């Protein structure tokens, strides 16, 4: 490890040319110099490979590009990229997004201040396909340092806290200790890794917005055909999250209530949506999955209650008053 090298940026690329140039240049143009940028092209069939060869030649002292011989998929490629890093911190990156100029500097400072955390995530600005900022503000009372119990409590209620890959920095030591990404997963290995890291120690939340996160219809996680798979992969993660609270009887009971009254009804809502958009095969997969987890009639009744409460804007109050007592 180079003594003054504190952070590595890793970027998996697959047919990302539409947004790739802005994404790559935003990393190259960071306001610090001592970092490495490692990119892996996962057998792209568009102009991405050609562009990356040009970037590698032009910025050879800063950028290293590796090329897969066969398409490995996102999480196998991320694990491969991690194996090439030589820094104590690894900032994950995505081909659609744009990094603000001081992003890496502030991530390093935050981890220097909180040396024991296993990972961190920071705030984002959302942009559309054209790069236009989509204003989104919410009150977030999440603490700066989130211990294991707090992570489990919040995630059991609201799902994946960090959200996306490109606003996350992980400690390489801790990432290796928990086995990196589960590369058998297609969609939820990031949520799984965050949970594994949070189970081993506290994670950090940076309140500053340091990346522009692009929302567009081509993203795999937004496709109808991935809904059932996402839920299938999420369910064991949610169960693991609840199990982290098993020594705290009250918090464990609350987590199980949220599972029955918030998470499962949201899955049922996805089921109805799939049938509404005539994705019948995907809907049947999800119906069988939910049937293996719970009684579908009981789930329908819970979903009906939640929908009625939501119509009167009482669902959040219901969660806070009746599920947490």
pLDDT (tens digit per residue) in 161-206? 998 899 999 999 999 999 999 999 999 999 999 999 999 999 999 9
* Residues forming beta bridges with residue 35, ordered by sequence position: 7
pLDDT in tens, 201-224: 999 999 999 999 998 665 545 578
Q: How confident is the model at residue 140 (pLDDT cuts 50, 70, 90)?
A: low
pLDDT exceeds cutoff 70 at 3: no
pLDDT exceeds cutoff 60 at 57: yes
Helix axes 227-243, 249-258, angle to 10 degrees: 170
pLDDT exceeds cutoff 60 at 311: yes
- Burial grade of 160 (CB within 10 A; 0-12, 13-18, 19 or more): middle
120 Cβ contact list (under 8 Å, min separation 6): 107, 110, 111, 114, 168, 169, 203, 204, 205, 206
pLDDT exceeds cutoff 60 at 2: no
pLDDT in tens, 21-32: 999 999 999 999
Q: What is the mean pLDDT of the chain?
A: 93
Q: How confident is the model at residue 131 (pLDDT cuts 50, 70, 90)?
A: confident
Helices (H), 29-147: 48-58, 74-84, 103-113
pLDDT exceeds cutoff 90 at 56: yes
User: For 71-100, what is the mean pLDDT?
Assistant: 97
Percent of the chain at pLDDT exceeding 70:
96
Token pair listed for 297? 């009639």
pLDDT given at position 304: 97
pLDDT, greater one: 218 or 63: 63
pTM: predicted TM-score of the whole model, two decimal places: 0.93
Token pair listed for 171? 């400690």
pLDDT given at position 4: 75
Q: What is the separation of C-alpha 99 from the centre of its chain, rounded to a whole number of angstroms?
A: 16
User: For 256-285, what is the mean pLDDT?
Assistant: 95
User: For 285-290, what is the mean pLDDT?
Assistant: 97
pLDDT given at position 307: 96
């Amino acid at each position: 490890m180079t003594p003054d090298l504190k952070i590595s940026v890793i970027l998996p690329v697959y047919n990302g040319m539409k947004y790739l140039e802005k994404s790559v240049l935003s990393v190259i143009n960071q306001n610090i110099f001592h970092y490495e940028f490692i990119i892996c092209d996962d057998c792209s069939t568009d102009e991405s490979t050609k562009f990356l060869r040009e970037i590698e030649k032009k910025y050879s002292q800063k950028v290293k590009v590796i090329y897969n011989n066969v398409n490995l998929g996102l999480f196998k490629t991320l694990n491969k990229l991690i194996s090439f890093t030589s820094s104590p911190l690894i900032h994950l990156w995505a081909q659609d997004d744009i990094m603000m100029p001081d992003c890496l500097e502030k991530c390093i400072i935050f981890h220097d201040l909180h040396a024991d955390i296993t990972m961190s995530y920071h705030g984002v600005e959302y942009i559309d396909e054209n790069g236009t900022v989509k204003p989104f503000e919410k009150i977030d009372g999440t603490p700066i340092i989130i211990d294991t119990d707090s992570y489990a409590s919040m995630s059991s209620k609201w799902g994946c806290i960090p959200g996306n890959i490109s606003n996350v920095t992980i400690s390489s030591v801790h990432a290796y200790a928990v086995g990196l990404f589960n590369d058998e997963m297609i969609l939820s290995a990031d949520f799984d890794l965050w949970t594994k890291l949070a189970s081993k120690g506290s994670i950090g939340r940076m309140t500053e917005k340091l990346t522009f996160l692009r929302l567009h219809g081509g993203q795999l996680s937004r496709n109808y055909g991935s809904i059932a798979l996402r839920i299938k992969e999420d369910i064991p993660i949610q169960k693991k999250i609840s199990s982290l609270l098993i020594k705290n009887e009250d918090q464990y009971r609350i987590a199980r209530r949220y599972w029955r009254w918030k998470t499962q009804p949201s899955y049922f809502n996805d089921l109805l949506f799939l049938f509404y958009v005539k994705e019948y095969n995907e809907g049947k997969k999800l119906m069988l999955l939910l049937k293996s987890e719970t009684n579908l009639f009981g789930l329908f009744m819970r979903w009906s209650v939640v929908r009625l409460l939501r119509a009167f804007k009482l669902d959040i109050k219901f969660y806070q008053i009746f599920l947490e007592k």
